[in-house]
C-alpha cells in the first residue's frame, strides 16, 4: 500500500473516514490524497473572476472547502506523511474513479451512512456506485469506525481461482494490521455446495494466509448470502467484511455486485470491496 485516496465532503462521517485513513497511511508509510468535489450553480472554472462575486454563497462554500483541505493537509504533514489535496468543481463519482486511475492509487477510504442513514451525503449515497468501477480496493467506513488496528477480517467468497489476487490484497492488509482472516463460504438453499468441496477450495487459500495459522475456515448456512455474511460477521465481532464485487463462477457469481452494494448499505461493519476488473 503506497498511495491512498480519501474522497471527502467534510461531513462528520467523512471526517471520521479521513482520520481512519490517516492511521492506515501512517502505519503503511503511504502517501495520502484528499479529494473534494464542489458543486457550483455555474461552470466555475470558466467563470470570470469578477463574476464570481455574483455568487457569494458559492464563494463561501469554496472558501470553506479550501480551509478544510488545508486542515487535513496539515494533519497529514504533522504525521510525517506525503500528502496532496484536490478541489474539483462540478464532477460526479466518475471523477473519483478517474482520480484513482490517474494517480495510481492502490487503496481508497471513504465514509457511507448506507441506505438507512439519517443524512445521505454525496460520498455516502454514492459509495456503493463507486465500488462497481474503482480499480483499487475501496474501504467503506460506517457510523462506528472499526477499531485500529483491525483484529478480525471476514473474507466472504466462493474461493474460485479468479479471486486469488483479491485475496492476496486482503492478506497484505491483514498483515499490515496483524489481523486474523476468517474465510467464509455461505451455503444457501439455492446455491448449495457440499462441505468437503467448499473446504477443499478454502484449503488452497490457507497456503497464502499471513503469519501462519491466522486464517480460519468457516461454512455458514443462511437463507441468502448477504444475511449469512452479516450474521457471521456479527458472531465473530469482526472489524471488517472483505468481498469481491463479482465472481466468474460459483458463490456470488451473478449477484455478488448487488451483495457488495447491499453490505455497504445495510451492514454495520466496515466493508472492503475489491473489483475483479482491476486484475484484468
pLDDT of residue 193: 86
- For residues 158 and 185, the answer to whether their CB atoms sit within 8 Å is yes
Q: Give the end of a domain, one of 84, 113, 141.
A: 141
pLDDT of residue 250: 46
The span from the CA of 180 to the CA of 212, in Å, is: 10
pLDDT (tens digit, 0 to 9) for every residue of the chain, 280 residues total? 999 999 999 999 999 999 999 999 999 999 999 999 998 888 888 888 888 888 889 999 999 999 999 999 999 999 999 999 999 987 677 888 889 989 999 999 999 876 544 444 444 456 767 887 788 999 999 888 899 999 999 999 988 878 888 899 999 999 999 999 999 999 988 888 899 999 999 998 988 887 777 899 999 999 889 999 999 999 999 999 999 875 444 444 434 557 877 888 878 899 999 887 544 3
pLDDT of residue 264: 82
Q: Do 45 and 168 share a domain, yes or no?
A: no
The span from the CA of 10 to the CA of 37, in Å, is: 11
Task: Tally the domains of the chain.
Answer: 2
pLDDT of residue 46: 84
Q: Do 14 and 136 share a domain, yes or no?
A: yes
Q: Give the end of a domain, one of 141, 161, 194.
A: 141
Apex 272 CA angle, 266 and 278, nearest 5: 125
CA distances from 238 to 139, 147, 153, 177, 234 (A): 15, 10, 6, 13, 6
Q: Do 265 and 199 share a domain, yes or no?
A: yes
For residue 249, tell me if it sits in a domain.
yes
First to last CA, the chain: 19
**Sequence-ordered alpha helix ranges (H) in the chain:** 12-28, 56-78, 93-102, 122-133, 164-177, 195-206, 225-236, 256-266
Could you tell me the residue range of the domain that residue 214 belongs to? 152-279
| CA 238 from centre of chain | 16
Counting Cα atoms < 13 Å in the Cβ hemisphere of 273 gives 30
Global confidence as pTM = 0.88
**Sequence-ordered alpha helix ranges (H) in 103-208:** 122-133, 164-177, 195-206
Q: Do 110 and 31 share a domain, yes or no?
A: yes
DSSP-assigned letter for residue 9: -
pLDDT of residue 277: 58
pLDDT of residue 247: 41
The span from the CA of 14 to the CA of 30, in Å, is: 20
Q: Do 249 and 170 share a domain, yes or no?
A: yes
DSSP-assigned letter for residue 45: T
Q: Give the end of a domain, one of 141, 173, 203.
A: 141
- For residues 109 and 22, the answer to whether their CB atoms sit within 8 Å is no
Amino acid at each position: 500500500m503506497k498511495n491512498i485516496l480519501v474522497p471527502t465532503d467534510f461531513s462528520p462521517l467523512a471526517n471520521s473516514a479521513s482520520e481512519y485513513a490517516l492511521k492506515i497511511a501512517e502505519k503503511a508509510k503511504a502517501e495520502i490524497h484528499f479529494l473534494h468535489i464542489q458543486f457550483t450553480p455555474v461552470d466555475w472554472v470558466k467563470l470570470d473572476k469578477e463574476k464570481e462575486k455574483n455568487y457569494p454563497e458559492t464563494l463561501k462554500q469554496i472558501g470553506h472547502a479550501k480551509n478544510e483541505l488545508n486542515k487535513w493537509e496539515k494533519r497529514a504533514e504533522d504525521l510525517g506523511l506525503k500528502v496532496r489535496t484536490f478541489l474539483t468543481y462540478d464532477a460526479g463519482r466518475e471523477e473519483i474513479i478517474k482520480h484513482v486511475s490517474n494517480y495510481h492509487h492502490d487503496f481508497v477510504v471513504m465514509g457511507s451512512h448506507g441506505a438507512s442513514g439519517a443524512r445521505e451525503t454525496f460520498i455516502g449515497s454514492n459509495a456503493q456506485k463507486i465500488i462497481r468501477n474503482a480499480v483499487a480496493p475501496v474501504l467503506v467506513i460506517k457510523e462506528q469506525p472499526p477499531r485500529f488496528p483491525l483484529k478480525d477480517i471476514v473474507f466472504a467468497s466462493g474461493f474460485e481461482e479468479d479471486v486469488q489476487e483479491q485475496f492476496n490484497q486482503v492478506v497484505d492488509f491483514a498483515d499490515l494490521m496483524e489481523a486474523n482472516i476468517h474465510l467464509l463460504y455461505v451455503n444457501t438453499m439455492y446455491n448449495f455446495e457440499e462441505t468437503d468441496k467448499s473446504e477443499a477450495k478454502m484449503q488452497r487459500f490457507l497456503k497464502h494466509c499471513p503469519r501462519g495459522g491466522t486464517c480460519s475456515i468457516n461454512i455458514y448456512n443462511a437463507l441468502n448470502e448477504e444475511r449469512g455474511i452479516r450474521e457471521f460477521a456479527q458472531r465473530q465481532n469482526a472489524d471488517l467484511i472483505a468481498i469481491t464485487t463479482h465472481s466468474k463462477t460459483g458463490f456470488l457469481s451473478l449477484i455478488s455486485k448487488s451483495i457488495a452494494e447491499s453490505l455497504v448499505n445495510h451492514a454495520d461493519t466496515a466493508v472492503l470491496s475489491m473489483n475483479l476488473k482491476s486484475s484484468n
